[in-house]
Structure 1
Amino acid sequence: MARSPKYQQVTEDLRSKIADGTYPVGDPLPSTSALMATYGVSVTVVRAAIKQLQSEGLAEGQPGKAVYVAGEPGPSTELDEISRKIDELRTALDSAVSQLDARMSRLEKKLRD
């Protein structure tokens, strides 16, 4: 199965750290540069992860200021995680089917030649 994109991996880790109290509600998340260093990712990946947390209502912030933990993941987040995993599996399956179709086409062509 294909691994999830880096920003999703960072999002999932931050979400779990919010859930376990590493980053409690009201506290700031580490800075963008600290997150880049921690996860070994680009600023784009960190921004995408923070944006995802903000869209889930788990973080809030303003440009030039810290991003704060706004809430804890609830049961719906577990459902969201399952939905993401299903989407990843669907993508992997679609890719495998496409590869199989291409192989079958090549074999059929060889048989005709």
Structure 2
Amino acid sequence: MVEKTGRPAYLQIVDELRDQIRSGVLPAGTALPSIAQLGERFDVSASVVKAAISVLRTEGTVVGQQGKGVFVREVPAAGPESSAVSTEVLDQLAHMRKSLKELGDRLATLEAAVFQEPK
């Protein structure tokens, strides 16, 4: 059932289905429950379920087959080029984190100089 947390219901459904896929409850190749079943399970309308499935399709987690249903997508094995890309991305993230820390330190120094406490 969807909780009233302020987070849209369709995103709560996406999170739940994504967790089930990652944990293996819904393994690759498995059909998702029908829109009606998901609607009943989460106590939401069909349009909310369709929005959730649309998000999963867009991110490539599931794939629809006309007249058959929506299935958990097979995850391709990581090849050598994907590990090179991952290393490059991680290097870029490390550089961005370092730059953000430096900017934060500079901002703190500026704020201390501008907003000095009266003595």
Which TM-score applies when normalising by structure 1?
A: 0.59
**Cα contact 1:57–1:71 (8 A) shared by 2:** no
1:30-67 C-alpha deviation (Å, 9 max, x unpaired): 01111011100100000000000001100001343210
1:40 aligned onto 2:36: no
Say which of 62, 65, 70 aligns to 1:62. 65
The residue identity in structure 2 corresponding to 1:37 is E
Which of residues 1, 18, 24 in structure 2 aligns to 1:15? 18
8 A contact 1:28–1:69 mirrored in 2: yes
Deviations 1:40-96 (A, max 9, x none): 010000000000000110000134321000046xxxxxxxxxxxxxxxxxxxxxxxx
Identity of aligned residues (%): 41
Larger-Rg structure: 2
- Partner in structure 1 of residue 99 of structure 2: none
d(CA) in 1 for partners of 2:65, 2:29: 14
Gaps of 5+ in 2: 76-119
RMSD, matched Cα: 1.4
Higher relative contact order (CA 8 A, sep 6+): 1
Secondary structure (helix, strand or coil) at the match of 1:45 reads helix
The number of equivalent residue pairs is 71
Higher helix proportion (structure 1 or 2): 1
Amino acid in structure 1 at the alignment position of 2:30: D
Q: Which SS does the other structure have where 1:14 is aligned? A: helix
Instruction: Name 1:50's counterpart in structure 2.
Output: 53
Within the alignment, does 1:29 sit opposite 2:32 as a pair? yes
Which stretches in structure 1 are left out of the alignment for 5+ residues? Answer: 73-113
* Residue 93 of structure 2: aligned partner: none
* Cross-structure match for 1:5: 8
TM-score (normalised: structure 2): 0.56
Counterpart code for 1:16: D
Q: Counterpart of 1:25 in 2: which secondary structure?
A: coil
